[in-house]
Each structure stands twice: as structure tokens, then as C-alpha cells.
Amino acid sequence: MNYDCIIVGGGHNGLVCSAYLARAGWKVLVLERRPMVGGACVTEELWPGYRISTAAYVVSLLLPEIEQDLELKRHGYEVLRRVPSSFTPFEDGTYLMLGPDAAENHREVSKFSQRDADALPRYEQLLTQIAEKLEPILSVTPPDLLPLPKQWRKRSFGKKLRDAGKARNLYKAFESLGDQLPEAIELLTGAARPILDRWFESDQLKGTLATDAIIGTFQSVSSAGTAYVLLHHVMGASGGARGVWGYVKGGMGGLSESIAKSAKEAGVEIRTDAAVAEILTESGVTTGVRLETGETFHAGRVASGIDAHQTFRRLISEGQLPETFRAAVDRIDYSSASMKINLALSELPNFTCLPGDGSVGPQHRGTIHINALMQDLEDGWFDAAGGQPSRRPIVEMTIPTSVDDTISPPGQHVASLFVQYAPYKLADGTWDEATKNAFADSCIQQIARYAPNITDTVLHRQILSPLDLERVYGLTGGNIFQGAMPLHQLFSMRPVAGWSDYRTPISGLYLCGAAAHPGGGVMGACGRNAAVEMLRDGKSAT
């Protein structure tokens, strides 16, 4: 059967790409390996009555224009705000609660430092102002800015003109930062710790903020590049508020399903349980795909929503790619040290620093930071750098049932634990069931230091090691961003230098997932940007 475009992978980016193409009149087929669409943005009923966001668990970065263009609210998408946004308990019986109320934040931080309480609004204003000026970069195709060898890729005159225009716009964006330019450059390229040390003195506030700099990375908070992850977390305005992360009603799959409904309404055909075995080419031109079942589909355009390693090393036959490109793909860093643990709970955790009566309190609604002191973060990284799971894991715990009563049986709850550091490669073994369970036990024991009842409330648990994230979701190395996000793997250098415009050396083959600019996070920009470039090229490969 013939199509104008075939999308490999039904993750949220692939679905976004398909919807935009179909709205432009293309005949589009989406092929998803798993039984449901969404990739890592899914809801799964792991145990009867418990609907779990098994991988991605909160939303903020989704582009507002995607919400509007695809009419996602009409298709069932709803964001539930979390107020407050974070809760950090400490061993001395104190706690720090932060949210959208500036006056309340000032009172909370004043418990630890009056100086920090006064500085926090200025710090947040700086990050917001820089994010607002640089955020438009997420929604554009990066220009080729480097003087790469001409034999790597031929650039048309039109592309050179577009790149020149985008380079000028980029220059003007940085120019608009004015006196904030040096701090913006540090946020884009530097380490989070020296920035936080310069702004604040209390370890409680610094540690709480610093967890946003390491989430999903295999880096120390003192490593260059972690400041960008810090900035990344204040971007986005999903649900109507900048930098406020929310839960999707019904679980994260509610977002993917709403995009899929919009795409189907536009005419997209979606097939699940359809694992692609090969992207077909002829004389350097894409001709379609072959499934593992042997079934073939033909199209002049194929867009891959899976990562670059899976696309170019698994689905493309040997000899189809230039050696320089293949070598560059092989150099992509997929380092990962994140584990996801999903729990079904008989009752809410009861924190000794803020005891409750069994009902939902403010301490349950946002992200609960466990072991969020700067030394904890550094020690955890040091363990992982030696190939060992952190002895004192850093746990980000969320309880979506605190605001969403549709995803668990009455009176019971679900919780997500996103854990650092659990290195993909262990020095003395692998992530077998015994190792996974021992580390999960350790994570729950860490929570029990602050909420002792947690050990008796766990009814069910799912443990996803980095190896499981690779096997289940197709994330090479277990990297949740489809490739790490240090400076040398961002913007014009993502996925590799010279090929940041979603095209590839094979005519008619594109990348539309997080492997391309702007990278990881549930934002949809990769799929939307790829669709823009494909529509520019037209339906037929050239």
C-alpha cells in the first residue's frame, strides 16, 4: 500500500508530526511497535484499577501552539495543576515547600535563610526572562553554523539563505538579553552548582533546586551542561502557567491519546503491534518500510520518531550511509543513570515533619524530593561514576492521585519514583531481578526515613531499570532524552553536526523524535518542526 509518509514510532512526537502532515493533505501511516501509542508518554493499567504513567509522569513543555492547532482539549487533554509544586523533607524535622505563591515561598525559605528568601524571586525572574527570550529557538529548525567539509553534505542556495536568516535571528535573540547575556551563556553551557552557590547559602534550597539540574542525566551537579537542564525546567507553559509542571488527567497517556484522536480525525492511519524491521531504500532514496511480519508499505517519505542509534544502526542496512555520518552517529552519548519505580499504595505516605490524618495534604501534591541536599547529590553521582547504584539514592516522588481520582481504586493511591543514580552499566554485574529489587528496596527505605509508614503501604510495584527503559521503550542506553543533552549534542549539533534540520543523508528519510532538536521532554516540538521541513520538501523524495 502506498502513502505520502510513514512515521516509524507512535510516540507523542511521531503523532504530532503525523497530525500536521495529514492536516496539510498528506496520506500518513503511523507504525507503533507496542500495543498502544505514546512511546514513553503512556498510561498502562499494570494492576486492576491502577492506571500508571509508566515512564513520563508530568507535563509542562508541550508547545501551546500544538495544543491549539491540534485542538487537544476537544480531544480529551486536560492538565491538573499541582499546588504547591514541591515538598522537601529534611532529617532534622524541617521541610521546604515551594509553589506559585511568591509570598508563601518567601515565608518557607525564610525558615532557612532570610537572604535566600529575598534572592529567590530575583533568581526566578532571571531564569524566566532568559527562558522567554530563548524559548522561540525550540520551535525553529536550527541553521547549519559550522564550516563543515563540503563533502559531508551539499547545501542548496535556498538552505544557505534560510540558515543565514536563522543565524541572524539567533544573534538578535542573544542581543536582546542585554546585560543578562553573560548569565544566559553560563546557564546554557555551565554547571548548576556554582550558579546556585552564588545565588543562595542554604543547602536546603540549593539542593531542592539542584535536583532539576540532574534529572535524567548521568552528570554531577558540578558538571558543565547541568545548568541548561535547570533552565530547561522553567520553559514551557502547559496548562496555562509558565514553568509549572502538572499531571495529565487520566495519566500521561491522555496526552498521547488526544494527539492520536486529532491525527485520526485529520485522516492519519495508526497501526499498533507493528514493529518495523527495516527502512527500505533504493539508490540512496527512501521507498518505504518492512515490518517484522514481512509486510511492506511504500512511501516517498519516512520519518523516524525513534532515536538515532535505533534508526541508523538497526533499521538501515549496512552501506547505505556515508562513513562520516555513521561514525558521528556512533559517537552520540546515551549515558543514563535513571530508574523509574511505579507503586500502588494502600494509603498516603505520612511524613514525620508534617504529619497528616490520612487525607491529601499540600505535601502530597507536588514533587517530593528525598535526599535533596547538595552532598547527597554529589555522593550519589560519585557512586554511579564507579559503576555502582547510589548508596543513598536521590528520589523524586510524585503522587498523581493527590489531584486525580480517576487512576486508582477509591481510597488508594499510585506513586512514581524517578531515581538517580542507577547507571546503565554496572561495574560488577547487570540489572537482573535481584539487583533491581535490592535497589528498589533501598529507594523505599530512603523514603521511610521521612515517612516510616511507606514500607507497609506498598501493594504492587514495577521497577524499570535503564536496561528495561531500553528494552521496553526503545531508548538506547535507557536515556530518556533519546540522547544526552550536553552542549555538543544540542541545537545545530543534534543529532550530529551538519544534519540538524531533521533530514538525513538518505533522501526522503527524516528524524521527528527527541533525537533531533530541541531534544527530550514532552514538548512535541521535534515532531512539529520535522513536519514543517517535510512540507517544505513536498510529498515526493528528490
> pLDDT tens for residues 140-173?
899 988 888 888 888 888 888 998 998 898 889 8
* Residue 178, pLDDT score: 92
CATH number attached to the domain at 2-47+55-79+250-333+480-537: 3.50.50.60
Cα separation, 363 vs 353, in Å, equals 10
pLDDT at 360 over 80: yes
Give the mean pLDDT of 307-318.
95
Cα separation, 384 vs 182, in Å, equals 32
Contact 38, 332 (CB under 8 A): no
Contact 227, 213 (CB under 8 A): yes
Task: Write the CA distances from 29 to 18, 263, 268, integer angstroms.
Answer: 8, 10, 6
Task: For 510, list phi and psi in degrees, rounded to 5.
Answer: -130, 160
Task: Check residue 224 and report its DSSP letter.
Answer: B
Cα separation, 291 vs 1, in Å, equals 13
Cell of 95: 521541610
Task: For 55, list phi and psi in degrees, rounded to 5.
Answer: -120, -95
Task: Name the pLDDT band for 541 (thresholds 50, 70, 90).
Answer: low
pLDDT in tens, 96-119: 999 999 999 999 999 999 999 999
Cα separation, 145 vs 163, in Å, equals 8
Task: For 56, list phi and psi in degrees, rounded to 5.
Answer: -60, 145
* Bridge pairing between strands 247-248 and 79-80: antiparallel
* Residue 46, pLDDT score: 97
Contact 182, 158 (CB under 8 A): no
Q: Of all residues in the chain, what percent carry a pLDDT higher than 90? A: 82
For residue 511, count other CB atoms closer than 10 A to its CB.
30
**Could you identify the residue written with the cell 497517556?**
253
Beta-carbon contacts of 507 under 8 Å, excluding residues fewer than 6 positions away, are: 284, 285, 286, 541, 542
pLDDT at 74 over 90: yes
pLDDT in tens, 364-420: 999 999 999 999 999 999 999 999 999 999 999 999 999 999 999 999 999 999 999
Contact 358, 351 (CB under 8 A): no
Amino acid at 349: P
Contact 57, 251 (CB under 8 A): no
pLDDT in tens, 469-510: 999 999 999 999 999 988 899 999 999 999 999 999 999 999
Q: Sketch the domain layout of the chain as residue ranges.
A: 2-47+55-79+250-333+480-537, 120-240, 334-473
Cα separation, 445 vs 462, in Å, equals 16
pLDDT at 216 over 90: no
Task: Write the CA distances from 301 to 2, 200, 351, integer angstroms.
Answer: 11, 51, 54
Q: What is the model's pTM?
A: 0.95
Give the mean pLDDT of 280-308.
97
Most confident segment among 145-154, 228-237, 506-515: 506-515
Task: Write the CA distances from 366 to 100, 360, 369, integer angstroms.
Answer: 11, 11, 9
* Residue 131, pLDDT score: 87
CA atoms within 13 A on the CB side of 339: 30
CA 16 to chain centre: 15
pLDDT at 237 over 60: no
Cell of 531: 513536519
Contact 53, 251 (CB under 8 A): yes
Cα separation, 156 vs 139, in Å, equals 22
pLDDT at 526 over 90: yes
Specify the 3-state DSSP secondary structure of 346. Answer: coil
3-state secondary structure 30-99: EECCCCCCECCCCCEEEECCEEECCCCCCECCCCHHHHHHCCCCCCCCCEECCCCCEEEECCCCCEEEEC
Task: Write the CA distances from 303 to 152, 287, 361, 421, integer angstroms.
Answer: 21, 12, 45, 33
- In DSSP terms, 47 is beta-bridged to 50
pLDDT in tens, 454-473: 999 999 999 999 999 999 99
Radius of gyration of the chain (CA): 23
Cα separation, 498 vs 513, in Å, equals 17
Cα separation, 431 vs 300, in Å, equals 41
